[in-house]
Structure 1
Amino acid sequence: MEQREQWGTRVGFILAAVGSAVGLGNIWRFPYVVYENGGGAFLIPYFFALITAGIPILLLEFGIGRTGRGSAPLSLSKLSRKFEWLGWWQVLISFVITTYYVAVVAWAVSYFFYSFNLSWGEDTKAFLFGTYLGVPDDAVTESGLNLGGLQWHILLPLIAVWAGTYYVLIRGVKKGIEMMSKIFIPILFVLMILIVIRAITLPGAAVGLDHLLTPNFAKILPGFLGGTNPEWYSVWMAAYGQIFFSLSVAFAIMITYSSYMDKKQEVNNSGFIMAFSNCGFEFLAAIGVFAAIGFMAVSTGSEVKDVAASGVGLAFVVFPKIINTFPIFNSAFGMLFFLSLIIAGFTSLISIVEVLIASLMDKFRLTRKAAVNGVVGVCALVSIIYTTGAGIVLLDIIDHFINNFGIVIAGLLEVVLVGWFANITRIREDNNLVSDFRVGTWWNIMIMGVTPLVLLFMSYKNFQLEFTKAYEGYPFYALLTFGWLLVCATLLISFIVAYMFKWKTDIKQEGFRA
């Protein structure tokens, strides 16, 4: 078996971790979450969630990976043989995410080139769902699923993205992932700064920023404290959800990345730097996005609420419209925006695929080349389904379920199993021994108490909402097949891999000191 690789520098590790955390959601999800949940007042629950859940889980996973010296299944097995299945569940969640996340990066590649001559035309919604994605009217109906045929103009950029992914990962941790992160992450921040500078200088930008940042404290407080929102807790849930997903915790990435750290490498400060860098990028993106939305609203005589959007709609419908209305340099702004999406998505994609590679290398003593060939090959084949006309529909359903019922529940089980049934004080003290500053017992309280309660409540509300109404009105069979059964299948397979396949790697618990 190849000797375990290590990051070349502390900066390389931090940039790689930031690259994983800063993804598509930072650009197309976070701005709308702030806007919808109290504007500037949202900063209160946001930073509260960061301190009470985001950073504690991040430091926990840094400690597990750094001490365990292995992928999520291996490191969790070293904590307790009974935890291995959880590591494999997180790995399988990463596998599912990989297969559709790469498709969205491929869309961004296409739109980068469309930016040269604004090929999406005036009706950007019709172009996206019709001309580009080719979504048939009967993609998902009560009578069945119509894939709508292969869209070659999506398949070609998808192949290009997989080729780039393969090139980076086959080169390894130091020469591949770290080198890419040192180049791409600074470029990404520069691109976003340029986007913000251009956006805030547009007429009407102040209108968008006013809607984004004006605090509405009544929305985040319960009634007895002066709040006017009967579902004020949903705002706090949104804050925890954003922190939870944006830091790439609970689906094995940070355990894997930290396993490549030198045993003496600093932990706590690196975690704080990474977390706040991610937050800084999110706010930078929010300013750029809402400044541009304000310009669009003023230019078309619309209300900001009618222009603001989130997700795929923001990136591939609203922003092309905004770019169309630019007075000058339309193409340049379009290229900047979609290049930032490509880099943010690509660096996150690399981290997710590395989770799969590291786990197979550890479990079956594969070489990196064999693991990369197998993982990229299988993932690439599965991802082709998202290049069909019904790809966007399948993506929407699968992403909804794998996030709300995969990642959230896996995170809940992680903090409960490790927090309650492993000696997390040892993990904290091991981190403290090599860190610039010490983390106190507040961390134990967060991991064992606050975070599990929050994730349990999130899970409860997710289930409650799911059984109240069908997600986006999709037919029951589609939600059952591509939602519930998929999540259950990943869980079942995780137990099969954990208990039916023996380790070909030594998993003595020597990494965690008594």
Structure 2
Amino acid sequence: MSTPADHSTTLSHEEGRRGAFSSRRVFILAAIGSAVGLGNIWRFPYVAYENGGGAFLLPYLVALLTAGIPFLLLDYAIGHRHRGSAPLSFARLRRGTEGLGWWQVAICFVIAVYYAAVIAWALRYTFFSLDQAWGADPEAFFFGEFLQAGDVQVTADVVPGVLVPLALVWLAVLVIMALGVQRGIGVTSLVLIPVLVLAFSALVVQALLLPGAGAGLDALFTPDWSALTSAPVWAAAFGQILFSLSVGFGIMITYASYVRRREDMIGSGLVVGFSNSGFELLAGIGVFAALGFMAEASGDAVGDVVDGGIGLAFIAFPTIISEAPAGALLGVLFFGSLVVAGITSLISVIEVVISAVRDKLDTSRLTATLAVGVPAAVLSLVLFSTTSGIYVLDVVDHFVNQYGILVVALLSMLVVAWVVRALPVLGEHLNVHGRPRVGTGWRVLTSVVAPAGLAVVLVLAVRDDLAAPYEDYPTWLLLVLGWLLVLALPLVGFLLARLPWRSGTHLDGPPPGSDPAAPLHATSATDPNRPGTGHDEGGRP
């Protein structure tokens, strides 16, 4: 019979093999780095403007408190208690739920493949900003000279101007991932997150000094209170929060598994949640101040120049940079911020896959990094350094975000809350070292309010896509790279769940000694209410 000392030794060896963040501060910065990505900069300002301006901040705050942070804490609890990647943590929660973890891994692999391309574009545009290489027509330059995008079709025609920066992005990511959890992800976050905050703050200050900045801020923050009676506005708030916090698709489960056992995960979750929203608000101020200048310079209303996503970053902002005083500095700050935010998010996405491979196959860090990163890089280069890359990226991003992440997040939450009924145990775990404590309110928000919000967002998304083809793309493109891809992800996930785990992997409940909410021998099969014990009701899929 093993002793507590034996359990401690086993767990220390496992944690040493997987890697860990050196401190709570490093974990928080890494989690913020994952949450603060491209969507914070180019998605939130547009979503806020389109959904009531200043009035949108009310449903946004409600969504943060009732869905975003509760869901974030759920991911933290699963990963921190079960000490594994998403698949391993779900397997330890209940053996039959392992497929949900692999579904999340499959989603992260797809996201990593196309997300790197946008970072490569931003990297190239950082240097374009120095001499405004896009000329008098940024839109024609972006789609024509830069991406060489023609008709909507899939081609193999390579665009060297995208191939080279994309290869550099993947090289940097592979080096970071090979260095490990602390020396790679941790150190990168310690350096890049302060750089991002300083660079973007400088951008905001410069944008606020531009003529017309006040008109832009008025357009963003003037409240349309009637929007509060609109269900799509509330759905947009829930969607923005859940997308931007990186919850529901394995990232925060994985990162939490690298945190030392006696850490305050609740306080960390609050810091990450509010930091993410604070950066989104900062991004809104900077972007709309710049759009206000653009509107004044062109003689248009602010509403006529507002755009989001790729249009904002690679068409509207180059126009602003060309006309603004010290435009080169503005451009370097803006596109440099996109690169930094993108890199910190990309390493979190690819880490979900690497961690799962290491747990499943017991490989070294370098082997797993190469096994995951090289195929991802090759696919990325093949698909997105071609003249059809922009169209492939747009379709895949839309469907994976709308239906990949949303569906697996909703099902994961419902399974944990209502099938496994693990919320009481997970709440107990958070409360051991966490403050403020979570209780019935958190369980209600996680099991009812957050899933309801997700369901509404999902229903509205399906309604919109069935009403009209997305961006009027050809049906075959939407079918192959959209709907069929979304259906393939869970199939791949549950097939991977059938592969055997490495010899010696502890699957029945959390690793011995890893749950501070219970004694070291608390994997007793006599407690039917404790998930992941000897009562394997679900079985492996």
CA-to-aligned-CA distance 1:186-219 (integer Å, 9 cap, x gap): 1101111101111111110000000000111111
Q: Aligned with 2:498: secondary structure?
A: helix
The amino acid across from 1:493 in the alignment is V
Determine the structure 1 residue equivalent to 2:75.
Answer: 61
Residue 249 of structure 1 aligns to a residue in which SS? coil
Normalised by the length of structure 2, the TM-score is 0.90
Distance 1:460 1:295 in 2: 37
Q: 1:470 offset after TM fit, Å?
A: 1.0
Q: Matches of 1:510 and 1:450 in 2, distance apart? A: 27
Q: Which residue of 1 aligns with 2:427?
A: 428
Post-superposition shift, 1:148? 5.8
Q: SS at 1:370's partner residue?
A: helix
| Alpha-carbon shift at residue 16 of structure 1 (Å) | 0.1
- Matched residue, 1:309: 307
Q: Which residue of 2 aligns with 1:224?
A: none
- 1:439-458 equivalence runs, <5 A: 439-458=438-457
Corresponding residue of 2:27: 13
Residue 376 in 1 paired to residue 370 in 2?
no
Is 1:241 equivalent to 2:255 in the alignment? no
| CA shift digits 1:47-92 (9 cap, x unpaired) | 1101111001100000000011000000011010111000000000
Deviation of residue 502 (structure 1)?
A: 4.1
1:399 aligned onto 2:417: no
Counterpart CA distance in 2 for 1:503 and 1:450 is 38
The answer on 1:210 being equivalent to 2:218 is yes
- Which of 167, 191, 195 pairs up with 1:187? 195
CA contact (8 A) 1:188 1:340 kept: yes
Q: SS at 2:308's partner residue?
A: coil
Deviations 1:320-368 (A, max 9, x none): 0000011x31111111111000000000001001011000000111111
Conserved? CA contact 2:120–2:166, under 8 Å: yes
Matched residue, 1:479: 478
1:36 counterpart = 2:47: no
The alpha carbon displacement at 1:508 in A equals 2.4
Contact 1:135–1:148 (CA under 8 A) maintained in structure 2: no
1:262 corresponds in structure 2 to 260
CA distance in 2, matches of 1:477, 1:289: 36
Once the two structures are superposed, the pairs formed by residues 330-349 of structure 1 within 5 Å of their partners are: 330-349=327-346
1:158-208 deviation digits (Å, cap 9, x = unpaired): 111111101111111111111110110011011111011111111100000
- Residues 366-386 of structure 1 show CA distances to partners (whole Å, capped at 9, x for unaligned) of 111100011110100110111
Provide the C-alpha distance between the structure 2 equivalents of 1:500 and 1:362, rounded to a whole number of angstroms: 12
Note if contact 2:236-2:457 (Cα within 8 Å) is conserved in structure 1.
no
Equivalent-residue separation in structure 2 for 1:479 and 1:78 (angstroms) = 37
Q: Report deviation, 1:11.
A: 0.5
Contact between 1:264 and 1:434, CA under 8 Å: does it hold in 2? yes
* Residue type of the alignment partner of 1:126: A
Cα distance in 2 for partners of 1:199, 1:125 equals: 22
**1:273 counterpart (271, 275, 285):** 271
8 Å contact kept, 1:92–1:490: yes
The whole-number CA distance in structure 1 between the counterparts of 2:21 and 2:508 is 24
Bigger drift between 493-502 and 257-266 goes to: 493-502
CA distance in 1, matches of 2:488, 2:207: 45
Q: Matches of 2:311 and 2:290 in 1, distance apart?
A: 15
CA drift at 1:303: 1.2
Tell me what 2:318 maps to.
320
> 1:251·1:410 contact (CA, 8 Å) conserved in 2?
yes
Q: Is the aligned partner of 1:160 residue 2:157? A: no
- C-alpha distance in structure 1 between counterparts of 2:328 and 2:268, whole Å: 38
1:121 aligned to which of 131, 135, 142: 135
Instruction: Measure, in 2, the Cα distance between the counterparts of 1:431 and 1:364.
Output: 29
Q: Map 1:472-511; keep pairs closer than 5 Å.
A: 472-504=471-503, 505-511=505-511
Q: Deviations over 1:247-295 (max 9, x none)?
A: 0011100000000000101110100000000000000011000000000
Is the CA contact 1:76–1:87 (under 8 Å) kept in the aligned structure 2? yes
Q: Which runs of 4+ in 1 moved over 3 A?
A: 500-504, 510-514
Which of 128, 134, 159 in structure 1 is aligned with 2:148? Answer: 134
Counterpart secondary structure, 1:389: coil
One-letter amino acid of the structure 2 residue matched with residue 41 of structure 1: A
8 A contact 2:83–2:510 mirrored in 1: no
Q: How many Å separate the matches in 2 of 1:96 and 1:510?
A: 29
CA–CA distance in 2 between the matches of 1:394 and 1:5? 35
| Shift, 1:460, TM fit | 1.9
Equivalence for 1:225: none
2:101 maps to 1:87: yes
Indicate yes or no: 2:68 matched with 1:70. no
Whichever residue aligns with residue 172 of structure 2, its letter is G
CA distance in 2 between partners of 1:203 and 1:474 (Å): 39
Deviation of residue 506 (structure 1)? 2.5
Asked if structure 1 preserves the Cα contact closer than 8 Å seen for 2:87 and 2:356, the reply is yes
1:26 counterpart letter in structure 2: N
Q: Is the 8 A contact 2:93 2:510 kept in 1?
A: no
Amino acid at match of 1:216: D
Stretches of structure 1 lacking an aligned partner (at least 5 in a row) = 222-231
Check conservation: 1:152, 1:387, Cα contact below 8 A: yes
The C-alpha deviation readout for 1:449-483, integer Å capped at 9, x for no partner, is 11112212222222222222111111111111000
Letter matched to residue 346 of structure 1: I
Q: Which residue of the partner structure matches residue 461 of structure 1?
A: 460
In structure 2, give the amino acid aligned to 1:154.
Answer: V
Moved more, 167-176 or 1-10: 1-10
How far apart, in 2, do the equivalents of 1:499 and 1:375 lie?
Answer: 19
- Opposite residue 12 of structure 1, the aligned amino acid is V
Residue 139 of structure 1 contacts residue 389 of structure 1 at CA under 8 Å; is this kept in 2? no
Q: Secondary structure at the match of 1:499?
A: coil
Aligned-residue identity in percent: 45
Q: Which moved more, 1:92-101 or 1:212-221?
A: 212-221
Contact 1:139 1:148 in 2 (8 A): no
In structure 1, how many angstroms separate the alpha carbons of the residues matched to 2:471 and 2:17? 48
8 A Cα contact 2:108 2:249, kept in partner: yes
How many Å separate the matches in 1 of 2:408 and 2:125? 34
RMSD: 1.2
What is the alpha-carbon distance in structure 2 between the residues aligned to residue 46 and residue 97 of structure 1?
25
Moved more, 250-259 or 468-477: 468-477
**Counterpart residue type for residue 434 of structure 1:** H
Q: How far does residue 421 in structure 1 lie from its aligned partner after superposition?
A: 2.0
Q: Distance in 1 between matches of 2:228 and 2:388?
A: 38
Instruction: Please give the per-residue CA displacement for 1:79-121, whole angstroms capped at 9, x wherever unaligned.
Output: 1011100000000000000000000000001001111111111
Hey, what's the Cα distance between the residues in 1 that align with 2:141 and 2:427?
52
1:503 to partner: Cα distance: 4.5
Tell me which moved more, 48-57 or 457-466: 457-466
Q: Is the 8 A contact 1:134 1:148 kept in 2?
A: no
Could you tell me which amino acid in structure 1 is paired with residue 300 of structure 2? S
How far apart in 1 are the matches of 2:351 and 2:56?
34
2:37 aligned partner: 23
